[in-house]
Amino acid sequence: MTKAARLRQILFSPQTEFILEAHNGISARIVEEAGFAGIWGSGLAMSAQFAVRDNNELSWTQVVDMLEFMSDATSIPILLDGDTGYGDFNNMRRLVRKLEQRDVAGVCIEDKLFPKTNSFIQGERQPLADIEEFCGKIKSGKDHQLDDNFSIVARVEALIAGWGLEEALKRAEAYRLAGADAILMHSKKSRPDEILAFAKEWDNRAPLVIVPTKYYSTPTDVFREAGISLVIWANHMMRANITAMQSVSAEIFSSQSLINSEGRIASVSEIFRLQGADELLEAEKLYSRSSRAAGSALILAASRGDNLDELTTDRPKAMIPVAGKPVLRRLVEKFKRQGINDISVVAGYAHEAIDKGGLELILNPDWETSGELSSMLQAKEKITDDWILVYGDLLFRSYILHNLLDWDSSDLIIVVDSSEIEQPGISQKDLVWCSSPDNRAMYQQQVALEHISTGAESGWKERKADGRWIGMLRSHGEGTKKISTALETLSNTANFTQLGLPDLLNFLIGQGERVQVMYINGHWLDLNNLADLERANDFAQGYQT
């Protein structure tokens, strides 16, 4: 049901209904949460929240702008207090169009002159609008609304201005005949008598709306018995606001402390709740790449790098500068650029030489006699829900990490270079065989890892490998759980200390788990020997790595 249809239902229902004032997005949302069927967009309260007077000091577009926030924040109808319609029939019909565009369900206009004054400020001295002219305004609004359900409520100020019941009845009937959907009869008396007298005479010719601000002590059943259609509690959110703000500001000022006010005011998380902060976090998971970035990264950098000779006498190979900057630093910067700030490194050899800036250091004390899985086990707390693992000597172009983070359809993915096929003299470790070779024409190919060489085994030589794992892996959700469980299981095997990542991946495949392959073609290297280092310097200088 549209908001306009809902307001119409409220106006025409046989029982007395209630709407409460709101003056901005958050007050509107609170009114809805309280259970109200609708919102009164009070001119007084909207002016007051800008600290200006209820004399059309707020421009009509400022009112409409505020209504847009109120309307966006809520699903219940808003009846705008449209003062006099902000001008003549022409301003009125334009107002109606603009309100409909913002999904405001109806407008109430009063038969005074622009610029108006609040009815409770010398109301008896205010001139009333000419009946014919006001009827023209109502008619022009009705003629130009696009949605038949949009409501125009005509507010009669005759009682406020002291013209008496007869004039009030005359005007109400004229406005009804001009097309008004309902009549708001206003009164500034502290007793409801003149309103009740009007209701009796009016006899429900059109829905009757009242604003009992001044006759607030009247039992609500009296309104029900009088057949009032809609009661507007017209300014109570603004007044509650003022009292709360005065009290808290006085308290904080005099005590110069927050201690006494803290328990009396909404928590910051309550603000977040009312703003719908949770919805944004959920949406980020769906739509925003930055929030899909892995929560953490683990860098394995415990080994010395035996073929790098004197370059590693006093530092691990991850700390060898490449084009002036250690590989490890390059890795940390790359992760941070992707929004991954929880970065750990497992160190061993010459760990004191590691630059700990921006990362957490975890020690593998048995680095000399143990392998990658032992290092991983030391860091098992760091294997978090969304997680990336890299070798500490890896250089790669940024898009590789970017594309890996973009891959959400698989929960366990390894990066494989399809241009690095077996060549004589090249390490037999980390060669991979996959469910299909790289089809370079396709993005995010569905390819599963079938086997990865550990360097020690034989038997996967019956066909050429499909590529080489570059030492980068991402898992999230179930994938991470599978890795953690496999690591735990393997840690109980006799040769655990000798095992590397390929053993873990093969173990998972053996368990029937799917390991997705992300193919790349070059644009990376690792540091195994001096020739690699030379190439790495060129590589790092050539690209922003």
- The site partner of 211 among ligand SPV, Mg ion, none (C-beta below 5 to 8 Å per kind) is ligand SPV
Residues 62-101 that bind ligand SPV (CB under 6 A): 81
Residue that the structure tokens 């008396």 belong to = 189
| Tokens encoding 268 | 């910051």
User: Which three-class secondary structure string do you get for 266-293?
Assistant: CCHHHHHHHHCHHHHHHHHHHHCHHHHC
Residue 39 contacts ligand SPV per CB under 6 A: no
Residues 6+ apart with CB under 8 A from 385: 295, 476, 477, 480
Q: Is 211 in the site for ligand SPV (CB under 6 A)?
A: yes
Which position among 7, 37, 44, 174 is part of the footprint of ligand SPV (CB under 6 A)? 44
Question: Token pair for residue 408?
Answer: 């959400």
User: Mask 156-195, x = binds ligand SPV (CB under 6 A)?
Assistant: ----------------------------------------
Looking at the Cβ atoms of 188 and 476, the one nearer to ligand SPV is 188
> 209: which strand partners?
184, 230
In whole angstroms, what separates CA 471 from the centre of its chain?
A: 35
CB atoms within 10 A of CB 8: 23
Q: Which of 84, 119, 410, 475 binds ligand SPV (CB under 6 A)?
A: 119
- Which residues are paired to 526 by β-bridges? 394
Would you call 102 exposed, middle or buried from its count of C-beta atoms within 10 A (0-12, 13-18, 19+)? middle
Q: Provide the residue type at 514 as one letter.
A: R
Please identify, among the stretches 41-49, 55-63, 94-102, 439-447, the one whose residues bind ligand SPV according to the rule CB under 6 A: 41-49
Contact in structure between 181 and 145 (CB atoms under 8 Å): no
Q: Minimum Å distance from CB 14 to Mg ion?
A: 28
**Taking CB under 6 A as the criterion, which residues in 480-519 touch ligand SPV?**
none
List the single partner that 234 binds among Mg ion, ligand SPV, none, CB under 5 to 8 Å by kind.
Answer: ligand SPV
Q: Kindly state whether residue 378 participates in binding ligand SPV, applying the rule CB under 6 A.
A: no
List the single partner that 213 binds among ligand SPV, Mg ion, none, CB under 5 to 8 Å by kind. Answer: ligand SPV
Query: What does the block give as tokens for 31?
Result: 């009114």
- Determine the interface stretch with Mg ion among 9-17, 40-48, 437-445, 471-479 (rule: CB under 5 A): 40-48
Interaction of residue 42 with ligand SPV, rule CB under 6 A:
yes
Of the candidates 234, 332, 343, 472, which one interacts with ligand SPV according to CB under 6 A?
234
257-296: buried (b, 16+ CB within 10 Å) or exposed (e) per residue? eeeeeeeeeeeeeeeeebeeeeeeeeeeeeeeeebbbbbb
Judged by CB under 6 A, the residue of 213, 218, 418, 480 near ligand SPV is 213
Instruction: Report the alpha-carbon distance of residue 179 to residue 86 in Å, rounded.
Output: 19
- Closer to Mg ion by CB, 81 or 411: give it: 81
Stretch that binds Mg ion, among 20-28, 31-39, 76-84, 263-271 (CB under 5 A): 76-84
Q: How many residues bind ligand SPV (CB under 6 A)?
A: 11
Select from 25, 38, 41, 43 the one that contacts Mg ion (CB under 5 A): 43
Instruction: Determine how many CB atoms are found less than 10 A away from the CB of residue 446.
Output: 12
| Given 62, 118, 484, 537, the residue binding ligand SPV (CB under 6 A) | 118
Scanning 42-50, 85-93, 461-469, 518-526 for contacts with ligand SPV by CB under 6 A, the matching segment is 42-50
106 vs 326, which CB is nearer to Mg ion?
106
Min dist. Cβ of residue 281 to ligand SPV (A):
37
Which of the stretches 24-32, 77-85, 148-156, 371-379 binds Mg ion when contact is defined by CB under 5 A?
A: 77-85
At residue 498, what is the residue type?
Q
- How far apart CA 237 and CA 134 sit, in angstroms, is 30
CB of 126 to Mg ion, least distance (A): 12
Within residues 290-349, the interface with Mg ion by CB under 5 A covers none
Q: Point out the catalytic residue in the list 54, 417, 466, 532.
A: 54
Give the integer Cα–Cα distance in Å for 399 and 390: 15
Q: Is 83 assigned a catalytic role?
A: no
Distances (CA, A) of 338 to 165, 205, 291, 341, 394: 72, 66, 9, 9, 17
How many residues form the binding site for Mg ion (CB under 5 A)? Answer: 3
Judged by CB, which is closer to ligand SPV: 40, or 349?
Answer: 40
**Residue (159 or 211) nearer to ligand SPV, CB:** 211
Minimum separation from the CB atom of position 215 to ligand SPV (A)? 11
From residue 72, how far is each of 37, 49, 67, 244, 541 by CA, in Å?
16, 19, 8, 26, 51
Instruction: Specify the DSSP class assigned to residue 236.
Output: H
> Among candidates 55, 144, 133, which has minimal Cα distance to 95?
144
Residue 38 CB, nearest approach to ligand SPV (Å): 14
Q: List the one residue from 23, 29, 36, 43 that touches ligand SPV (CB under 6 A).
A: 43
Region binding Mg ion by CB under 5 A among candidate stretches 23-31, 35-43, 196-204, 430-438: 35-43
Number of H helices, E strands in the chain: 20, 21
Whether 354 contacts 318, CB under 8 Å: yes
Verify binding: residue 49, ligand SPV, rule CB under 6 A.
no
φ/ψ of 377, rounded to 5, equals -65, -35
Restricting to residues 44-63, name those near Mg ion by CB under 5 A: 44
Angle (CA) 486 491 496, round 5°: 115
Q: Which run of H or E residues covers position 97? A: helix 89-101
**Active site (catalytic) residues:** 54
Which residues are at the interface with Mg ion (CB under 5 A)? 43-44, 81
Contacts to ligand SPV by CB under 6 A: 42-44, 54, 81, 118-119, 211, 213, 234-235
